[in-house]
Structure 1
Amino acid sequence: MKASDVKSSGTGPSGTGSPGERSSGSTSSNAGSSGARSPVVPGVRLGRVSFVWRPWMVAVTVLLATATFLVFCLSIAVGDFPIALPQVIATILGGGEQVDEFVIMDLRMPRALAGCVVGVALGMSGAITQSIARNPLASPDILGITGGAGAVAVFLVTVSGGTATAVVNSVGLSGAALAGGLGTGLLVYFLAWRRGVDGFRLILIGISVSAVMEAITTWLLVSADIRDVARAQAWLIGSLDNRSWDDITVALRSTLVLMAVVACVAFQFKPMHLGDEVAAGLGVRYAVVRAVLLLCAVLLAGVAVSAAGPVPFVALVAPQVAMRLVRCPTPPMIASGVVGALLLIGADLIARAALPITLPVGVVTAAVGGPFLVYLLVRANVR
């Protein structure tokens, strides 16, 4: 053995070094390489709940919430009787004159609040379905949930008879639409179940069920009275017109309850991104968690449809935009809800104030969401 070999090996003349020196050198080398590859992410523990602290995600979510509040106030300020934005904020916080309070709180607040609630519900619903299916195309629009709710509502509007009238009088059109969306979501889930839920199979069955629901809706519109068709068509486009506090109260309470359920289950959902086997090894009952989250997604979409009609593409666009803004590999639920509210309130503001004629909000969201869907399809094909 040459002297240079002995020197380079870091051992003594006998070729054996100290075990402590060898282990310490190896440990420091591994630590340095692992630290260079994956920096330590700080975590926070509150009692039995622990989570990863991501400053960028929190900062972006706070900025999105601030922008949503400003657009919310601007939507209230714009109208036939314009009100200054500082006056709107002061009135919302408890100040302001009596005339401004009447215009803001009684006339314009229900519409703006409906846009916020419906946007949050659609954004979170889309984030849940896309995370479970692991596919950016999985949304309540594609899976047929909104189509089922719309078909039930159109049936009750266009079909005159004792049964339909009794249902509308007992649960209302919004309640019937919610039940239709829930039934369609459960149908898609059970048809897609085969020792688990595969994302690709879920989307294919959802597209098929959605096509069936659209065919039923079209047949009802063609065979109904023209006056009922006009009423049903206005509801099908998706609109925030003529909303009252009674229409918003049920949707707001339902959305808050479902958001609380999603927040409780979301911690067990994180390991499922690594695969069902890994989640089962960590003690997660992935089948139960997936079923509960899908049920919450269906109910959130049904609540949104019952409050504003089947507003298209918000549930598809909001999670993908939020995922890119917060730099997260999966759609973030809270940020998706905030982006959904921002998109819907902004679209309603554009439909009312920025266009030559007043249009339903669903027309604007369709004009934005259609090209975004094409972008997702092209991007998937390129990959």
Structure 2
Amino acid sequence: MTVLRVGPVSGRVRWRHLVVPAAASAVLVLLSAVSLGRGDFPIGIVDVLRTLIGLGEGAQSFIVLDLRAPRIAVGLLVGVALGVAGALFQTFARNPLASPDTLGITMGASVGAVAAIVLTGGAVNGLGVPLAALLGALGTGALLFLLTWRAGIDGYRLVLVGIALWSFGTALVDWLLTDAEIYDAASAYVWITGSLNARTWNHALPLAVSLAVLLPMALALSRVLRILQLGDDTARGLGVRLQSAQAATVLVAVGCVAFAVSAAGPITFVALVVPQIAVRLTGGGRPPLLASGLLGAVLVVGADLVTRTVLPEALPVGILTAVLGAPYLLWLLVRGRRRSTL
């Protein structure tokens, strides 16, 4: 930490809080550039740059601008949204296990999407399924908020209620898939794994607009979140309107998750893992919002690139993030159990 002074104004700067986002941004640009050129039809970096400035050939322009660029844009935006949402939930609950996955919000989105596919016999198309997923996530978030609210929100109660909602949502999805026609069940199952396949600018635009509103709100909550880390009584003593701050934090986090899941399906474990990685890289006491968002984008875009170019068969990106995140969740549970027995 360094103290900077400019005339009568001084402030403390944690250089790692600046270096980590800058490095993550550089890696994200590199991954995006590589991803634009890689695939079944490889395109050189020079031709990619020419296409981006409007000088590419017809086929290259179609592949880069209409097929690959929307996919990368959706992955980037989804990663940012999930990383920020995970940081908000974990900071608020003061629990590294708090994430949209464990709190049932992503499962609520899955219920909405699967219901839209199965109950209509696959008649829903276009933006119908993303809209149903958005409503499912928002509905689950509202239910989580109502069931947890007792003159404020307790982080421990938030996690317990969220796990119950996750279990209930899982049962609903299983029931819907069991009762569905085979083709509808297959379509629904592909969606709930979380994928960037066939994403277009129609998926990216609503997500970009929502994040343009939600991210400034999340950053504005940074100071309040830092105080909330000290405990409810301390926060009240420092003049924080505790109930309003808690409600705003949960609503912004739920909004980020809802729009992210509606755009790409439930890409699991990103919101759980990324904030803790950001904490360890920055050396702070809580997940930093900016670093968490950028690292989330790096993880999603990088995982999508791996599934398309490295693995022998292209897989939905949600499968790879689950493979990476599940061992981390087990490690957190084992570490928590060891600490409780000391």
TM-score (norm. length: structure 2): 0.92
Q: Are the aligned partners of 1:43 and 1:53 in contact in 2 as well (CA < 8 Å)?
A: no
Comparing 81-90 with 269-278, which one deviates more in the overlay? 81-90
Question: Hey, what's the Cα distance between the residues in 1 that align with 2:208 and 2:7?
Answer: 30
The answer to whether the aligner puts 1:299 opposite 2:255 as a matched pair is: yes
Q: Are the aligned partners of 1:72 and 1:112 in contact in 2 as well (CA < 8 Å)?
A: yes
Give the direction of change, closer, same or farther, for the CA distance of 1:283–1:342 in structure 2 (3 Å limit).
Answer: same
Deviation at 1:91, TM superposition (A): 4.0
The answer to whether the aligner puts 1:65 opposite 2:22 as a matched pair is: no
Residue 85 of structure 1 aligns with which residue? 45
The answer to whether the aligner puts 1:129 opposite 2:85 as a matched pair is: no
Question: Hey, what's the Cα distance between the residues in 1 that align with 2:215 and 2:2?
Answer: 30
The answer to whether the aligner puts 1:143 opposite 2:103 as a matched pair is: yes
Q: Map of 1:151-162 to 2, 5 A cutoff?
A: 151-160=111-120
Residue 98 of structure 1 aligns with which residue? 57
Q: Report SS of the residue matched to 1:254.
A: helix
Deviation at 1:362, TM superposition (A): 0.9
Give the direction of change, closer, same or farther, for the CA distance of 1:382–1:172 in structure 2 (3 Å limit).
Answer: same
Query: Which residue of the other structure, out of 308, 314, 322, is the alignment partner of 1:366?
Result: 322
Count of residues in Structure 1 that have an aligned counterpart in Structure 2: 338
Query: Which residue of the other structure, out of 155, 170, 175, is the alignment partner of 1:199?
Result: 155
Q: Are the aligned partners of 2:151 and 2:243 in contact in 1 as well (CA < 8 Å)?
A: no
Deviation at 1:147, TM superposition (A): 0.4
Question: Hey, what's the Cα distance between the residues in 2 that align with 1:199 and 1:42?
Answer: 36
AA of the residue aligned to 1:218: D
Q: Report SS of the residue matched to 2:229.
A: helix
Larger radius of gyration between Structure 1 and Structure 2? 1
Question: Hey, what's the Cα distance between the residues in 1 that align with 2:177 and 2:147?
Answer: 28
Q: Are the aligned partners of 1:127 and 1:332 in contact in 2 as well (CA < 8 Å)?
A: yes
Question: Hey, what's the Cα distance between the residues in 2 that align with 1:213 and 1:376?
Answer: 24
Q: Map of 1:1-383 to 2, 5 A cutoff?
A: 41-42=3-4, 52-89=12-49, 91-92=51-52, 94=53, 96-99=55-58, 100-160=60-120, 172-383=128-339
Q: Report SS of the residue matched to 1:358.
A: coil
Give the direction of change, closer, same or farther, for the CA distance of 1:104–1:147 in structure 2 (3 Å limit).
Answer: same
Deviation at 1:46, TM superposition (A): 12
AA of the residue aligned to 1:105: L
Question: Hey, what's the Cα distance between the residues in 1 that align with 2:108 and 2:271?
Answer: 16
Deviation at 1:200, TM superposition (A): 1.7
Deviation at 1:51, TM superposition (A): 6.7
AA of the residue aligned to 1:137: L
Deviation at 1:95, TM superposition (A): 5.8
Q: Describe the superposition over 1:18-67 as per-residue Cα deviations: whole angstroms up to 9, x where unpaired.
A: xxxxxxxxxxxxxxxxxxxxx874488999xx974221210111001110
Comparing 260-269 with 133-142, which one deviates more in the overlay? 260-269
Q: Are the aligned partners of 1:178 and 1:299 in contact in 2 as well (CA < 8 Å)?
A: no
Q: Tell me, which stretches of 5 or more residues in structure 2 are unaligned?
A: none
TM-score (norm. length: structure 1): 0.83
Deviation at 1:238, TM superposition (A): 0.6
Ranked by relative contact order (alpha carbons within 8 Å, sequence separation 6 or more), the top structure is 2
Question: Hey, what's the Cα distance between the residues in 1 that align with 2:108 and 2:228?
Answer: 29
Question: Hey, what's the Cα distance between the residues in 2 that align with 1:348 and 1:294?
Answer: 29
Give the direction of change, closer, same or farther, for the CA distance of 1:264–1:79 in structure 2 (3 Å limit).
Answer: same
Comparing 278-287 with 81-90, which one deviates more in the overlay? 81-90
Shift >6 Å, 4+ stretches: 43-47
Question: Hey, what's the Cα distance between the residues in 2 that align with 1:86 and 1:278?
Answer: 56
Give the direction of change, closer, same or farther, for the CA distance of 1:193–1:106 in structure 2 (3 Å limit).
Answer: same
Question: Hey, what's the Cα distance between the residues in 2 that align with 1:228 and 1:349?
Answer: 28
AA of the residue aligned to 2:95: N
Q: Report SS of the residue matched to 1:274.
A: coil
Question: Hey, what's the Cα distance between the residues in 2 that align with 1:222 and 1:46?
Answer: 68
Question: Hey, what's the Cα distance between the residues in 1 that align with 2:96 and 2:64?
Answer: 38
